């Protein structure tokens, strides 16, 4: 075999041996090109920008008088009733509908009546009402009142204490909501505080033990549980 032939045959072998070396040499360069420090910094900057943008878009500025801000304030039932009863009293008076008008509306279409006149609560629609009638027999501070212009089968009672039950004063206007309080206990205590303030500001000046046979004028609120029975919690009660 000639020297030229030997050289020719050796060239492909040399090329094959050289080829892996070239690949091994170029692969790190390619990876280095994809993962340069500058590229890494760019990726992290992009991630940080997205995170910051998400925080900014998800942040809500809450005014001091917002219920969400108020929920962080420690609830004090001894001051809540005094601070809020007059507002509730005014709100109920503004929303109050004459008993005969309200009874007719509820009998005709309860859903439409609730939408038009009531404030929704977990216990049912809460109506504000005004009525004048003759007081009948009472039991445990709850007196029947004969009101003209309402159906004969509608029993209207007014609670006068000493125990005032229910959450009507809290729920009647829709201005006092669960979101204003830290928990259900405080929310319930708010209703009790308003009931206590009712006894102080309204009922303390009324001889509730001798109402039978007298005419009274009442503005108050009730939750419609039974369409044929209203138990009214008064915010105003005047003996004629």
Can you give the pLDDT at residue 73?
A: 58
Give the C-alpha distances (Å, rounded to integers) separating 219 from 15, 39, 62, 99.
105, 74, 36, 10
Beta strands in the chain (DSSP E): 97-98, 119-121, 124-139, 142-147, 155-159, 215-223, 229-239
Q: Band of the pLDDT at 77, cuts 50, 70, 90?
A: confident
Mention every residue, 6+ apart, whose C-beta is less than 8 A from residue 231.
142, 157, 158, 159, 166, 222, 223
CA dist 63 to 71, 75, 87, 191, Å?
A: 12, 19, 21, 25
Which pairing describes strands 142-147 and 215-223: parallel, antiparallel, or unpaired? unpaired
In this prediction, residue 204 carries a pLDDT of 94
Looking at residue 74, what is its pLDDT?
Answer: 75
pTM (two decimals): 0.69
pLDDT band, residue 237 (cuts 50/70/90): very high
3-state secondary structure of 154: coil
pLDDT digits (tens, 9 = 90+) for 204-221: 999 999 999 999 999 999
- Read off the pLDDT of each residue in 195-209 and give the average, rounded to a whole number: 95
Is the pLDDT at 5 greater than 50? The verdict is no
Position 13 pLDDT exceeds 50: no
Please, are residues 118 and 129 in contact by the beta-carbon 8 Å criterion? no
Query: What are the C-alpha distances in Å from 195 to residues 14, 70, 148, 172, 174?
Result: 101, 21, 28, 13, 16
Distance CA 124, CA 224 (A): 6
Backbone angles phi, psi at 105, to 5 degrees: -65, -45
Which pLDDT value is given to residue 85? 97
pLDDT value at 60 more than 50: no
- The model's pLDDT over 96-142, given as tens digits with 9 standing for 90+, comes to 999 999 999 999 999 999 999 999 998 999 999 999 999 999 999 99
């Amino acid at each position: 075999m000639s020297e030229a032939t030997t050289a020719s045959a050796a060239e492909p072998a040399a090329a094959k041996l050289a080829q892996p070396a070239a690949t091994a040499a170029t692969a790190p360069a390619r990876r280095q090109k994809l993962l340069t420090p500058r590229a890494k910094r760019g990726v992290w900057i992009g991630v940080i920008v997205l995170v910051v943008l998400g925080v900014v878009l998800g942040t809500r500025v809450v005014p001091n008088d917002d219920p969400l801000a108020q929920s962080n304030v420690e609830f004090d039932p001894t001051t809540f009733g005094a601070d809020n009863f007059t507002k509730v009293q005014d709100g109920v008076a503004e929303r109050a509908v004459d008993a005969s008008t309200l009874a007719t509306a509820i009998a005709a279409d309860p859903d439409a009546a609730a939408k038009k006149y009531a404030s929704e609560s977990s216990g049912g629609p809460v109506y504000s009402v005004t009525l004048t009638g003759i007081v009948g027999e009472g039991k445990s501070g709850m007196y029947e009142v004969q009101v003209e212009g309402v159906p004969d089968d509608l029993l209207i009672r007014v609670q006068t204490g000493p125990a005032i039950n229910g959450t009507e004063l809290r729920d009647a206007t829709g201005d006092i909501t669960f979101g204003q309080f830290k928990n259900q206990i405080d929310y319930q205590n708010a209703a009790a505080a308003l009931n206590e303030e009712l006894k102080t500001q309204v009922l303390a000046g009324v001889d509730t033990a001798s109402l039978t046979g007298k005419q009274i004028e009442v503005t108050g609120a009730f939750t419609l549980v039974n369409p044929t029975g209203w138990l009214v919690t008064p915010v105003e009660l005047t003996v004629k």
